[in-house]
Amino acid sequence: MGHKFFYVLFVSVIISGCASDPVRLYVNTQPQGAALSTHSGSAMLGVSPSVFSYPQALLKQHRDAQGCYLLTGFTARWPSGAKSSTEPVVRICGNSDAYNITISRDLNAPGIEADLDAANRAASVAAPQRQAEAAEAAEAAALIGVLGVTNNTAPKTTSCNTYAIGKTLQTNCR
């Protein structure tokens, strides 16, 4: 009897977490391309920019008195070895399903040129990928039109420009 109860409880938590849209946290760094880990550095999470999805059912269990989500913080480490971190616990507030965090590199730490070069290389690789994805979306939209299926949204193309402001790279995409 005990195992069945826990199985039913586990399945209900999974289903309730899947039933609602997840909350997304976009983590970016300036400059981009830093390795992201948990604040303690115990788990590697990816390279910035990254998107993390949290089931709403899980997040509701981790709120403060004001209703803000309390998440484990992040550490960013750039190719030069420069490192910056958020607070150990990140507090995100509001009624949204998407939040943004940007971790900025200390511009006085050594190796800024190497990190800017790495970010430029990553941006030059990512731009053609986004353009290829946009072309595929346009082809799919055209195919949908040929099949007689209406599509009320125009295909979106992405155009990115990266430029330096002092020792910081800024990338804008439309």
Confidence band, pLDDT 50/70/90 cuts, at residue 40 = confident
Confidence band, pLDDT 50/70/90 cuts, at residue 31 = very high
Integer Cα distance of 32 and 139 in angstroms = 30
Q: What angle do CA 75, 78, 82 make, to 5 degrees?
A: 80
Confidence band, pLDDT 50/70/90 cuts, at residue 15 = very low
pLDDT digits (tens, 9 = 90+) for 121-145: 877 776 666 666 666 776 666 666 5
> Mean pLDDT lowest for which of 24-33, 79-88, 112-121, 161-170?
161-170
Confidence band, pLDDT 50/70/90 cuts, at residue 5 = very low
Taking CA atoms, 152 is separated from 24, 56, 131, in Å, by 26, 30, 21
Whole-number pLDDT of residue 27: 95
Question: Rounded mean pLDDT of 157-169?
Answer: 54
Whole-number pLDDT of residue 8: 36
- Domain boundaries, given as residue ranges, for the chain: 2-173
pLDDT at 151 over 70: no
Q: Which residue's entry shows tokens 């055209």?
A: 142
Confidence band, pLDDT 50/70/90 cuts, at residue 2 = very low
pLDDT digits (tens, 9 = 90+) for 65-99: 998 999 999 999 999 999 999 999 999 898 888 99
